[in-house]
Chain A
């Protein structure tokens, strides 16, 4: 009966504790690594975007100085005034779509219930179109219209799916229907605009990053800062909601307030990006599930934002460079790759439901 044989159980307990701590550390390390790689890839993609000078044929060694404001007229115009804003809009817009989608997915407890699937993005597009055509709005007026449109559609969809509670599949069904109507309104206005050039029409019909400028970058930066702050603020309450409304209320979460705040936030973030890029499909949908897979945590809105940024930057570059078909609107590419993901999510639910 030596002291060592007397304490086998506590040894085992200590081993377990050590292993768990090691696992937790490994998981944290993994998450940190994944996020760092995402960030590096995102920044790298923005840098790649700078070099897509197309017919302007600016030599690679002139690009980087031009990006920092040391280029001649043409290089400055192409690199700093066109490509840099476009890359940044893709980065910021993708992040906003990703955050918005992940919030909605968590809120409704369904990976299919994102702003682009349930028609809120189309609603924002329709709102923007209506103020452009009706009041000749520009700049912030367009954003106001988009927000109003998104708000109206989300209230309609949410309200109509309410039957003593919102069942997520009814919400998706109704969202698809109302979204079809909002898309019809967009088409209606686009075909009626006097100067409905293809480029402009494309932005509102399927989403495109053509012709984005510094003002858009500033707007999206502000939105992202406010959005991230608000996400951090409501994150804990939202996490508790996953335990069920009653338990969350028991933990001191004001359930209706958190729910409403999350819905409003998801709607508004999607609305602001849509007012700049048009209703780009499926980035909000796929960012969340990809982030979940990569990080091996149930849900993380900010990581989804990072994934969304990478996705939109990559698809935008693909839209400009893909052989045979480029240049095409970015939204067409995201729909081409996003729709199969939607189908995969739909089919995969079999295992979980």
Chain B
């Protein structure tokens, strides 16, 4: 069981959808995403009808129109950030699942986001960093350290199977890092209350970081798109890939680095959001098969779709105030994770 590669990733080349369907699917998914984005602009504490939203976007409303202001200055940055972060997380999920050959891999589950979060908190509390661009470098360092630790720990075990030890190692590292965050923040009520929503993952009031993180996100997404062929080669297994002339070690390291970059960018922007990468990658594979050249762009779309949809749904939850999107994705993502976990070790009970 520990040697058998995981089912969805290993079925390279056997599961392929028709090119026309793939292209059409991409367009359909993009349309769906546009609808969700418009809903994200229209729905909230103050519902604004879609026509007004469109007019505001096209600049047809007078400059002092209140609804127009809300759409352009509050909700547009938020939706854009959601799209960007969702795309990063979706791609990160796909890359991590391919690199670890583990269908349960997700930047949140593997503790990579917790690493980024802990490093950002260290940056804020101890070093005194206050601008988002500074957050990013801390997030990147923390994510890299966490990813390396989890990889090393799971490599040191042969517990039942690699994918299980990877998840437990991720949970342990995440618990350790989140307790570090608590230790650093709990004594200062003001710092604590501002970090509490951040440590859950939230899009509220984070539109401002968009400009700062846009370059990093675009670079990370661009690098991810170029990974398609190497990930396809890795999925064939180390020996076959080496036979095809791929330098397995460096390729895997590079891909893992890009995955960490994606996760760190997303976390620096909005805090840890679990399960978007996991579900996004699986949805993308369901739609286009297992060729990473296609799965990667698709997973960016599905990740963005998931995060924006979760954000819209989180605003519709009854009660005062809206829900942090990280809570929404955890509640929605858990059944998905459990279903995948149940498939693990089938017949080995």
Contacts and interface: CB of A to CB of B under 8 A. Distances in A.
Contacts of B168: 112, 172-173, 176, 342, 346
B77 to A, nearest CB: 22
A75 B317 CA distance: 48
Contacts of B183: 325, 328, 332-333, 336
B193 interface: yes
B320 interface: yes
Interface in B7-59: none
Nearest to B174: A339
Interface in A103-161: 112, 117, 160-161
Interface in B321-349: 321, 323-324, 326-327, 330-331, 334, 337-338, 341-342, 344-349
B342 A170 contact: yes
B101 to A, nearest CB: 16
A180 B274 contact: yes
A335 B176 contact: yes
A180 B172 contact: no
Contacts of B346: 163
Given A198-B192, A339-B173, A353 B159 contact: yes
Interface in A307-353: 325, 327-329, 331-333, 335-336, 338-340, 342-343, 346-347, 349-350, 353
Interface SS of chain B? helix
A169 B160 contact: yes
A173 B331 CA distance: 16
Interface stretch (A11-19, A46-54, A184-192, A234-242): A184-192
A174 B342 contact: yes
A328 B182 contact: yes
A340 to B, nearest CB: 7
B272 to A, nearest CB: 11
A291 B158 CA distance: 25
A172 B164 contact: yes
Nearest to B188: A198
B242 interface: no
B324 A170 contact: no
Most A-side CB within 10 Å, residue of B160, B179, B180: B179
Nearest to B171: A176
A166 interface: yes
Most B-side CB within 10 Å, residue of A112, A177, A342, A347: A177
A281 B179 CA distance: 10
Given A343-B169, A350-B157, A206 B179 contact: yes
B344 A173 contact: yes
B156 A167 contact: no
Given A163-B342, A164-B349, A342-B172, A169 B164 contact: yes
Nearest to A338: B175
Contacts of A327: 187
A276 interface: no
B151 to A, nearest CB: 13
A188 B323 contact: yes
B179 A184 contact: no
Interface string B126-144: 0000000000000000000
Interface residues of B, number: 52
A329 B169 CA distance: 24
B182 A346 contact: no
B197 A181 contact: no
A174 B335 CA distance: 10
Contact of A191 (B187, B324, B330, B342): B324
Most A-side CB within 10 Å, residue of B153, B158, B176, B178: B176
Contacts of B172: 339-340, 342-343, 346
Most B-side CB within 10 Å, residue of A173, A198, A325, A329: A173
Contact of B196 (A165, A166, A191, A349): A191
Most B-side CB within 10 Å, residue of A184, A328, A333: A184
B240 interface: no
A255 interface: no
Contacts of A339: 172-173, 175-176, 179
Interface string A242-267: 00000000000000000000000000
A349 B161 CA distance: 12
Given A174-B341, A350-B156, A188 B327 contact: yes
Given A166-B349, A350-B156, A177 B182 contact: no
A194 to B, nearest CB: 8
Nearest to B337: A177
A173 B159 contact: no
Contact of B334 (A166, A178, A347, A350): A178
Contacts of B330: 180-181, 183-184
A202 interface: yes
A177 B334 contact: yes
B349 A165 contact: yes
Contacts of B220: none
B321 A192 contact: yes
B186 interface: yes
A133 to B, nearest CB: 10
A190 to B, nearest CB: 9
B187 to A, nearest CB: 7
Most A-side CB within 10 Å, residue of B104, B169, B196: B196
Nearest to B177: A339
A281 B172 CA distance: 11
12 contacts: A160-B338, A166-B349, A169-B164, A170-B341, A176-B167, A178-B338, A180-B274, A206-B182, A339-B172, A339-B176, A343-B153, A349-B158
Interface of A: 112, 117, 160-161, 163-167, 169-170, 172-174, 176-178, 180-181, 183-185, 187-188, 191-192, 198, 201-202, 205-206, 281-282, 325, 327-329, 331-333, 335-336, 338-340, 342-343, 346-347, 349-350, 353
Interface of B: 104, 153, 156-161, 164-165, 167-169, 171-173, 175-176, 178-180, 182-183, 186-187, 189, 192-193, 196-197, 200, 274, 319-321, 323-324, 326-327, 330-331, 334, 337-338, 341-342, 344-349
The 5 lowest CB-CB distance pairs between A and B, nearest first, are A335-B179, A184-B330, A339-B176, A181-B334, A169-B160
Given A181-B331, A342-B175, 4 more contacts: A177-B334, A184-B331, A332-B179, A346-B153
